[in-house]
Amino acid sequence: MANDTYTAAVERSKKLEEDLKLNPKKHRVLTGDRPTGRLHIGHYFGSLQNRVKLSKMGVPTCILIADYQVLTDHDAFDKISQNTKQLVIDYIAAGIEPSDNVIIYPHSYIPEANQLLIPFLTLISNAELSRNPTVKEEIQSAGIKNVNAGMYTYPVHQACDILFCKGDVVPAGKDQLPHIELTRLIARRFNEKFCPKNPIFPETSVLLSKTPHILGLDGNQKMSKSRNNAIFLSNTEDETAKLIKKAKTDAERNITYDPENRPEVANLLDLISLCTHEDQRVIAQHIGEGGGGLLKKTLTEAINEELRPLRKKRAELEKDPEYIRKVLFDGTEKARAMAIQTLDEVRTAMNMKI
């Protein structure tokens, strides 16, 4: 991505952050996850805590589960429903409180939002779709040989996810910037072409997350389910201890905070710091000659303590599948009401009302 585009995105994100504090009700947050598995502590520190904070500030929040999007790069679809419900459990256990203002739903359940895809596709060229850097990266890293059309068009579908409810804030990392730029482009082109006097769609911005890249327990790549280097919110305390025992450190006994030269040890110290809010250097000093063993013990205790209330809530929610379905159906109903309204405005703008 061009540097000036990135700088502009950072600027927009900063301004947005200020205004969210002053006028939370003026905005709408839209976030989503693909239901490919349970959430891990990378999600927890990277995005979940932020979503909880925004929703508690009173910003209307839509959390969508991108079940259609899973089909673009995953052959397996046997667990989509199960994964969807596990995501809801993770969200609520982490502190999301479903209400009139905070809703959770699968995007496949909102036909009127999906219908926006047809006019939106006509506003974007093939060339624009095929140069999306995030899509290119995903195709490459997943080693997909036969790329389906859904893979190239899912960012347009994502624009439908965001614009059907006129979402103007998407809290996300850098990788989502090309998608949100596309959403803005579609909104602008739609407004200019069909309703210049009465624009329907807002300008959406990314609220860039501040948390550093959380590495997996192998210490050299991003924490992720597919890389087998994650601690899941749903892991037990014993499982957490076992996973951390296997975490990579280095040969030097004395623990110091040196992200440059000791990335694995630094990552474990970062994780402790995220739980205890102590400075990494101070934590390192305490551990010192206690070495990797004490480092891992400290981390295990910190994570287990941080997640204890969440895991307790999680276990209760697991026992109440009817409640989880109710949350999804309530969310779906509210999302559909917004989608029906927006589709009606869109039909009017396109002169298609009969």
**Interface residue list for ligand TRP (CB under 6 A):** 30-34, 64, 66, 69, 158, 161-162, 170, 172
For the four alpha carbons of 152, 155, 161 and 163, in that order, the dihedral sign comes to negative
Q: State which residue, 31 or 84, has the beta carbon closest to ligand TRP.
A: 31
CB of 33 to ligand TRP, least distance (A): 6
230-233 — which CB contacts under 8 Å span 24+ positions? 230/40, 230/41, 230/42, 231/40, 231/41, 231/303, 232/38, 232/39, 232/40, 232/41, 233/38, 233/39, 233/40, 233/41, 233/43, 233/44, 233/90, 233/93, 233/94, 233/307, 233/310, 233/311, 233/314
List the structure tokens of 45. Answer: 């520190």
Residue 64 Cβ vs ligand TRP, minimum distance, rounded to whole Å: 6
Residue 161 CB, shortest distance to ligand TRP, in Å, is 4
Q: What are phi and psi of 122, to 5 degrees?
A: -80, -5
Q: Which is nearer to ligand TRP, 154 or 272 (CB)?
A: 154
Of all residues in the shown chain, the one whose CB is closest to ligand TRP is 32
- Both structure tokens of 36: 């490919």
Task: Give least dist CB 167 to ligand TRP, A.
Answer: 7
Please provide the size of the chain in residues: 354
Nearer to ligand TRP, 51 or 85 (CB): 51
CB of 66 to ligand TRP, least distance (A): 4
Beta strands, E only, the chain: 29-33, 61-65, 102-106, 169-172, 205-208
Smaller CB distance to ligand TRP: residue 209 or 276? 209
Q: Which is nearer to ligand TRP, 138 or 318 (CB)?
A: 138
Closest contact distance (angstroms) between CB of 246 and ligand TRP is: 27
Of the candidates 32, 34, 143, the one whose C-alpha atom is nearest the C-alpha of residue 79 is 34
At 169, is the secondary structure helix, strand, or coil? strand
Nearer Cβ to ligand TRP, position 182 or 346?
182
CA distance 171 to 121: 24
Q: For 280-317, b where at least 16 C-beta lie within 10 A, e where not — what string?
A: beebbeebeeeebeebbebbbbbbbebbeebbeebeeb
Structure tokens at 180: 């949100």
DSSP, collapsed to helix, strand or coil, labels residue 66 as coil
Nearer to ligand TRP, 58 or 173 (CB): 173
Residue 29 or 284: the one with the smaller Cβ distance to ligand TRP is 29
Q: Where are the alpha helices (DSSP H) in 143-218?
A: 149-163, 177-194
Residue holding tokens 């502590």? 41
- Choose between 111 and 321: whose C-beta lies nearer to ligand TRP: 111
SS3 content of the chain, % helix, strand, coil (to 5): 60, 10, 30
